Amino acid sequence: MANTTAVFQLGMDLDDRATQDTVHGVPRKAQAEASYSPFTTHAAFGGDEEDRKDHFISRDGRCFAGTHLIIDLWGAERLDEIEHVEQTLVDAVEAAGATLLHIHLHHFTPNGGVSGVAVLAESHISIHSWPERSYAALDVFMCGDSRPEQAIPVLERAFHPASIRVKEFFRGETVWSPAESAVA
């Protein structure tokens, strides 16, 4: 029951058939008739680009929700210092031009790893560290005008890794459209 309440509070009442039959407030039937595509502008559904509040990114002919960086730090230092980790997250958020909402970190033992998240208006930065292995795993996911790649030099200066590996993903970029699925 608590889950239903939480979902309802988010504006997604699971028992409401009208909600299930719409996407972004537009009836599914109308989307199919308009040859809906995830790259269709908001104007096709009665608004214009300035009305959009989804903070999707359009860059180099691509449209996506946000950039997700998966970062591995090897041979890193100061991974067990919770105050240092917290300040590093704050600095990374600032460098990326994002908006910090909240930071929650957990220190597992006095000499153990740190796990936590910086919750952003644009999404999040999370960290999980294994100081006994000099390793940290970070996720940097941001949408809108933020620049998640600007967090990388901050992490390098703070933790001095011997090596760093970064994988970049464009979240929310789809190739699906109703017209394509009708053929299948």
Q: Any idea which residues carry the catalytic annotation?
A: 123, 128, 143
> What's the DSSP call for residue 109?
S
Nearest 5°: phi and psi at 102? -165, 145
Residue 72, H or E segment: strand 66-74
Task: Report CA torsion sign: 124, 88, 168, 153.
Answer: positive
- How many beta carbons lie within 10 A of that of residue 146, not counting itself? 25
What is the Cα–Cα distance from 25 to 48, expressed in whole angstroms?
Answer: 15
The answer to whether 137 and 128 have CB atoms below 8 angstroms apart is yes
Q: Return the half-sphere exposure (C-beta side, CA atoms, 13 A cut-off) of residue 105.
A: 23
What is the Cα–Cα distance from 182 to 184, expressed in whole angstroms?
Answer: 6
What is the Cα–Cα distance from 146 to 83, expressed in whole angstroms?
Answer: 25
The answer to whether 63 and 39 have CB atoms below 8 angstroms apart is yes
